[in-house]
Amino acid sequence: MKTVTLRELEDAKSETISGVEYHEGRLFTSQSGMVCKTYYTEENGNFYEVTDPNTCITEFWSDKHPDSRYYDGRTRETIEAMNGGAE
């Protein structure tokens, strides 16, 4: 699975919702703790995001581009803290 930058995540979302009427699906947390959000459009289909609150990694895809991609939202400090100070 491809890992992307924040800019690539924002561009992918913009490709679906920019310039058209869209609706945000209800933000919800799954039983496993994943935060899920969907954007719906008539013209461009849907955009899906699933974020793991423990790792800050967001998996996303859209109807136009169904291949999942990952954005790792952790900062260096967060990664170091998760690893006990070691990289």
Give the separation between CA 82 and CA 72, rounded to whole angstroms: 14
Q: What phi, psi does 76 have (nearest 5°)?
A: -55, -40
Give the CA distances from residue 57 to residues 1, 18, 29, in Å, rounded to whole numbers and listed in that order: 13, 23, 15
Q: What phi, psi does 3 have (nearest 5°)?
A: -100, 135
Predicted local confidence at residue 58, as pLDDT: 94
Predicted local confidence at residue 1, as pLDDT: 77
Residues of the chain falling short of pLDDT 70: 75-87
Instruction: Show the tokens assigned to 48.
Output: 């899906």
Token pair 């859209």 is found at 62
Buried/exposed 24-33: b ≥16 CB within 10 Å, e otherwise? eeeeeeeeee
